[in-house]
């Protein structure tokens, strides 16, 4: 059921999507297939009760108080899938109050009780069977859903492992204890690119620790959050523990920041927005977790296994059409293997099938909206104007809408815009380097520090370079490194705190020291 829900909402944006007229003329058959896939999915989700369009406040589905809605579009064809409530500060304040009222009873439940209630992603076997009979999407979407569900399953178990401590006393009549207690109400602000996992990676540990949450999902992909919330209700999460407010991001965000009842803000998104949230949280001195932008280097050394390097580079660059914060933003290739690598890389990228996610064999979908396409293309044009060469792609895809060709650009210099900023699209800039020291210098020459990748057959070099890279995550001979059991987070301006793993629980806990005297 959660898998079926994800298939719809992974590919939706708001009304800013622009539909190009030449696409309407040239791709009517493809459009009809996309339309049929969307309509079939919507009807199935409705029959399962998962297509929710209202916000969730205090366990009740409610419209925006002024009746306003926002349209949710499929970027592959521009079609409206649904209209959801466009909420603002009034609804956000009510959601905060509901979460605040629900905090005390939820936090006082035993860890085992919270653990048993958490795995809502496995709920409703009837819907699961319906999904298993369908053939939508493919392994890419299934992997995203499995990834999102993994955090709920993991933190359901970790709920029972929030341990305190006993400190040896300095005086004989004293006993010293350390307790870990939930921080309180958490404001959860999530992006569109992984609309399930970015919620579960935050909500899982928050609920496990005993916190309650108010979720503000991206207005581009709100349907996933609403479907996940419906599942939470069905599985027994009490009213008010999990709330979802969709709509006006600035108004909802300000309400979360200004409320003294909200004790923590957790956010995944751009560095610019993260800085604003961090500044706003200072007024009430809230705890803050930020998972922000990246500029990931992927370093291919002369001694790398070419097949392994190609597979890993393809995975880390073109996953989700390049729209992840840990996608390789720069491919650094040592000069001894540069020509061989770029030739093989180009051949592999040319074979990537682009299209709608409902079609069989598609591995590259559309970008989120027209603004994203324009940004990607401007980076490409800037690189070309400064001497870079397009090896593959380099322009809008003939499918139109928000599709962009999988692209490789050679002879890129680190001062070019595409190497300085996160492209967030299917474009791989390739930079030539000579020495290990030069590669490390280029890789670290950025204000970001989320993820980095190394391909080498030298164990000594693996350790040397991994330790020298100023990044929170380093993949060695592997391009897909994210997992629920390992900490996810960055250095420098890529954020604060860690998500996932046992370390992710600490972000939602306060430490209390208790000194008991006259115990002798």
CA distance 460 to 466: 10
Does the structure show a pLDDT above 80 at 18?
no
Mean pLDDT of the chain: 90
Does the structure show a pLDDT above 60 at 507?
yes
Question: Model confidence at 119, in pLDDT bands (50, 70, 90)?
Answer: confident
pLDDT at residue number 37? 57
pLDDT at residue number 322? 97
Residue pointed to by tokens 């995944």? 268
Give the pLDDT confidence of 433-451 residue by residue, as tens digits.
999 999 999 999 999 999 9
pLDDT at residue number 114? 96
pLDDT at residue number 169? 96
What is the mean predicted confidence (pLDDT) over 314-327? 96
Of 262, 287, 222, the closest CA to residue 96 belongs to 262
Percentage of the chain lying above the pLDDT 90 cut: 83
pLDDT at residue number 520? 82
Does the structure show a pLDDT above 60 at 189?
yes
CATH number of 296-483: 3.40.309.10
What is the mean predicted confidence (pLDDT) over 243-254? 98
Does the structure show a pLDDT above 60 at 482?
yes
Give the pLDDT confidence of 400-417 residue by residue, as tens digits.
999 999 999 999 998 999
What is the mean predicted confidence (pLDDT) over 249-261? 98
State the CATH class of domain 44-291.
alpha beta
**Under 8 Å CB-to-CB from 487, ≥6 apart: which residues?**
472, 498, 499, 500, 501, 503, 504
pLDDT at residue number 7? 36
Question: Model confidence at 137, in pLDDT bands (50, 70, 90)?
Answer: very low
Give the residues across from 267 on adjacent strands: 189, 290
| Cα–chain center distance at 518 | 51
> For 321, left (φ over 0), alpha (ψ -120 to 50), or beta?
left
Q: Determine how many CB atoms are found less than 10 A away from the CB of residue 67.
A: 8
Does the structure show a pLDDT above 60 at 25?
no
Give the pLDDT confidence of 27-68 residue by residue, as tens digits.
444 455 555 556 666 777 777 788 999 999 999 999 999 999
Does the structure show a pLDDT above 60 at 22?
no
Q: What ranges do the domains of the chain cover?
A: 44-291, 296-483
Give the pLDDT confidence of 260-292 residue by residue, as tens digits.
999 999 999 999 999 999 999 999 999 999 999
What is the mean predicted confidence (pLDDT) over 365-392? 97
Give the residues across from 297 on adjacent strands: 330
pLDDT at residue number 477? 98
CA distance 294 to 271: 9
Does the structure show a pLDDT above 80 at 106?
yes
- 355 close to 362: Cβ distance less than 8 angstroms: yes
pLDDT at residue number 508? 98
The reported pTM is: 0.90
CB burial of 407-427 (b: ≥16 within 10 Å; e: otherwise) equals bbbbbbebebbbbbbbbbbbb
Catalytic residue IDs:
291
Helices (H), 108-210: 111-117, 125-132, 139-158, 197-209
Of 355, 373, 395, the closest CA to residue 29 belongs to 355
Helices (H), 235-283: 249-258, 271-281
Phi and psi angles of residue 204, each rounded to the nearest 5 degrees, phi first: -55, -60
Of 104, 118, 117, 108, the closest CA to residue 240 belongs to 104
Q: Is 435 helix (H, G, I), strand (E, B) or coil?
A: coil
What is the mean predicted confidence (pLDDT) over 181-189? 98
Task: Label the pairing between strands 55-57 and 60-62.
Answer: antiparallel
Task: Label the pairing between strands 212-216 and 60-62.
Answer: unpaired
Percentage of the chain lying above the pLDDT 70 cut: 88
Of 251, 246, 212, the closest CA to residue 62 belongs to 246
Phi and psi angles of residue 214, each rounded to the nearest 5 degrees, phi first: -120, 115
What is the mean predicted confidence (pLDDT) over 478-505? 97
DSSP letter at 206? H
CA distance 485 to 228: 21
Give the pLDDT confidence of 330-357 residue by residue, as tens digits.
999 999 999 999 999 999 999 999 998 8
CA distance 149 to 153: 6
Residue 3 parent element (H or E): helix 2-9
pLDDT at residue number 43? 77
pLDDT at residue number 41? 67
pLDDT at residue number 33? 53
DSSP letter at 481? -
């Amino acid at each position: 059921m959660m898998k079926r829900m994800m298939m719809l909402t992974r590919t939706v944006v708001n009304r800013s999507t622009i539909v190009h007229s030449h696409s309407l003329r040239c791709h009517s058959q493809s459009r009809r297939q996309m339309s049929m896939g969307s309509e079939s999915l919507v009807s199935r989700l409705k029959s399962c009760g998962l297509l929710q369009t209202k916000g969730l406040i205090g366990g009740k589905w409610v419209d925006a108080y002024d009746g306003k809605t926002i349209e949710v579009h499929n970027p592959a064809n521009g079609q409206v899938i649904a209209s959801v409530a466009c909420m603002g500060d009034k609804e956000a304040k009510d959601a905060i109050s509901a979460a605040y009222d629900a905090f005390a009873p939820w936090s006082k439940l035993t860890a085992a009780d919270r653990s048993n209630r958490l795995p809502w992603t496995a709920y409703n076997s009837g819907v699961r069977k319906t999904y298993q009979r369908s053939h939508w999407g493919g392994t890419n979407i299934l992997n995203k859903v499995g990834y999102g569900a993994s955090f709920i399953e993991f933190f359901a178990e970790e709920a029972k492992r929030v341990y305190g401590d006993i400190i040896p006393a300095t005086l004989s009549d004293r006993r010293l204890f350390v307790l870990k207690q939930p921080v309180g109400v958490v404001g959860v602000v999530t992006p569109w690119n992984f609309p399930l996992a970015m919620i579960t990676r935050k909500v899982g540990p928050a609920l496990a620790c005993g916190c309650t949450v108010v979720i503000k999902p991206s207005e581009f992909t709100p349907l996933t959050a609403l479907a996940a919330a419906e599942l939470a209700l069905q599985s027994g999460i009490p009213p008010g523990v999990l709330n979802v407010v969709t709509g006006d991001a600035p108004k909802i965000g300000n309400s979360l920041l200004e409320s003294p009842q909200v004790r923590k803000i957790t956010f995944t998104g751009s560095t610019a927005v993260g800085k604003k949230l961090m500044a706003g949280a200072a007024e009430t001195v809230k705890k803050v977790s930020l998972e922000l932008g990246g500029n990931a280097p992927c370093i291919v050394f002369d001694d790398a296994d070419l097949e392994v390097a190609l597979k890993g580079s393809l995975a880390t660059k073109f996953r989700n059409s390049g729209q992840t914060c840990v996608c390789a933003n720069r491919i650094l290739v040592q000069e001894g293997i540069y020509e061989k690598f770029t030739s093989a890389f180009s051949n592999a990228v040319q074979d990537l099938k682009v299209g709608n996610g409902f079609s069989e064999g598609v591995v590259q979908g559309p970008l989120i909206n027209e603004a994203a396409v324009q940004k990607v293309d401007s980076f490409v044009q800037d690189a070309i104007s400064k001497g870079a060469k397009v090896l593959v792609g380099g322009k809008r895809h003939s499918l139109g809408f928000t599709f962009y060709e999988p692209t490789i650009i050679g002879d890129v210099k680190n001062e070019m815009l595409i190497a300085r900023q996160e492209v967030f699209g299917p474009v791989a800039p390739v930079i030539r380097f000579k020495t290990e020291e030069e590669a490390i210098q280029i890789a670290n020459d950025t204000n970001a520090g989320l993820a980095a990748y190394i391909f080498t057959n030298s164990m000594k070099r693996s350790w040397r370079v991994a330790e020298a890279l100023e990044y929170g995550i380093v993949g060695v001979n592997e391009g897909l490194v994210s997992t629920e059991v390992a900490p996810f987070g960055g250095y420098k301006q890529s954020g604060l705190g860690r998500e996932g793993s046992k370390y992710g629980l600490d972000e939602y806990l306060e430490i209390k020291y208790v000194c008991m005297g006259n115990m002798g």
